[in-house]
A = this chain, B = another copy of it.
């Protein structure tokens, strides 16, 4: 059985130019490593804040590389180059507004500028795409609140079972209706 593939897409002009190291994408990879007990491998990439490049990478990770989950970081703010939510929406057939709402509500406990984050989530065929914030600390805060719903969501779109370390993250699956 092949390992479950999870896309980690860092969207950042500066990280992709080598101006600084991509600590955000690496933080997502580290967190997934602590959450998951299923065999998995990251499909990891760092790209600039370019609408077409983001779309192309999301489609490739979903359609060609078979990621059941893609976690993006960066490009969700109000600045002119921030277009990750728009690119995400462009490749999804279904949007999941609850992810952005909960992440913003969680981040608001720490900073009032959380309302400037435009994070969203959506579904492309069998792939769930979730935008995470840009900073490692915010990534952890947000992932902790939305991840408990992710394994069940991936199953609903006919993806693999993501098994998790319940001592690190409490996953929830409702009883079938």
Report A's interface with B, CB cutoff 8 A.
77-80, 82, 86, 94-102, 104-105, 108, 111-118, 123, 128, 134-135, 145-146, 148-149, 152-153, 156-158, 172-174, 177
**Are B111 and A96 within 8 A (Cβ)?**
no
Copies in the complex: 3
**CB contact under 8 A between A177 and B135, given known A104-B101, A128-B78, A157-B78:** yes
One of B78, B117, B149, B156 near A94 (C-beta < 8 A): B78
State the Cβ distance, A94 to closest chain B Cβ, in Å.
7
Complexed CA–CA distance, A142 and B173 (Å): 20
| Residue among A79, A128, A134 with the highest chain B CB neighbour number at 10 A | A79
